[in-house]
Amino acid sequence: MRTKTAKQFLMIEGLPILWRTLRRFQQAVPDAPITLVLHESLFDEFRNLESHHGPSGATHLVKGGAERFHSVLAGLTSLPDEGLVAIHDAVRPFPSIDLIRTAFDTAATHGSAIPSIPLKDSIRKISSSGSDSVSV
């Protein structure tokens, strides 16, 4: 990807990817608070996008760390001691509502859950003009 825009702020049909992701979670678990962990250098851009596109859905904003592990830890330590937690990569905006709900229900019943979807095989064809994905 050759852009200076952070991936979570790239637009899909007029909305940042992050907004689409957070709205999926809001639809699936409407009463759940959403803690958003971002690198501090992205806070201003995030706030600018909120002023232009409306609320993102995040209820708390937490400063992330140098690596994903540090960001996850920062998010976790900002939360209450008890409750269900979902950790999601914000640039994967289209989990189904059912997948999210099933993950929460499973975690509530069994203590944890790792949602997954079936793998789709693909082949990448490289040519002098670039790379194309070919479905199998």
Mean pLDDT value of segment 10-20: 95
Over residues 100-110, mean pLDDT: 97
Q: Which of 96, 93, 89, 80 is nearest to 32 (CA)?
A: 80
**Distance from first CA to last CA of the chain, Å, rounded?**
24
Domains of the chain (ranges, CATH numbers): 7-135 (3.90.550.10)
Q: 37-65, pLDDT tens digit by residue? A: 999 999 999 999 999 999 999 999 999 99
- CA torsion 118-115-23-62 (nearest 10°) is -130
Q: What percent of the chain has pLDDT over 90?
A: 76
The H-or-E segment that residue 70 falls in is: helix 68-77
Instruction: Give the span between the Cα atoms of 57 and 72, in whole angstroms.
Output: 19
pTM (2 d.p.) = 0.81
